[in-house]
Amino acid sequence: MGHEQFIQWLFYGVLTFVGTYGVYTLAKLRDSIDKLNLHVATIIVKHEWHESEIKDMKKRIYKLEHTNK
């Protein structure tokens, strides 16, 4: 194996490693984003529930304040 062939083989090996590592990193990033989306969706649902509970409490407080006068 000549010097030029070794350099070419080494270069292709590095390219293969970089490509494989890039695909692996992107896959991990996608999984992380999927988990983040799930957590954000959970927070949004909980926020909506709490918002409706606060509205109900405000209505109840308003009724109590205005019926006891």
Domain that holds residue 52: 35-69
* pLDDT above 80: residue 59: yes
Domain assignment present for residue 8? The answer is no
Domain assignment present for residue 20? The answer is no
* pLDDT above 80: residue 69: no
Q: How many domains does the chain have?
A: 1
pLDDT, tens digit (0-9, with 9 covering 90-100), for 4-20: 999 999 999 999 999 99
* pLDDT above 90: residue 39: yes
Domain assignment present for residue 7? The answer is no
Domain assignment present for residue 17? The answer is no
Q: What is the pLDDT of residue 44?
A: 94
Domain assignment present for residue 18? The answer is no
How far does CA 12 lie from the centroid of its chain? 34
Q: What is the pLDDT of residue 34?
A: 96
Q: How confident is the model at residue 1 (pLDDT cuts 50, 70, 90)?
A: low
